[in-house]
Amino acid sequence: MRNRLRERRAARRWSQADLADRLGVSRQTVNALENGRYDPSLPLAFKIAEVFGEPIESLFLPPP
């Protein structure tokens, strides 16, 4: 699944560790999410949307 996490995080000038702290996950999990190696669980996807203040649909894109 493609996502816009890296660009949203960078726009806020957060490091991967900053985002990880806000989500309650490891920095490695954030890295895997950003690189498309890990698809978040539904609860984690909702938490990500909450942290960024955006709907899930604006952060996660369907496969091409």
Quick one: pLDDT at residue 64? 74
CATH topology of domain 2-54: 434 Repressor (Amino-terminal Domain) (1.10.260)
Contact call for residues 53 and 59 (beta carbons, < 8 A): no
Q: For residue range 3-57, what is the model confidence (pLDDT) as tens digits? A: 999 999 999 999 999 999 999 999 999 999 999 999 999 999 999 999 999 999 9
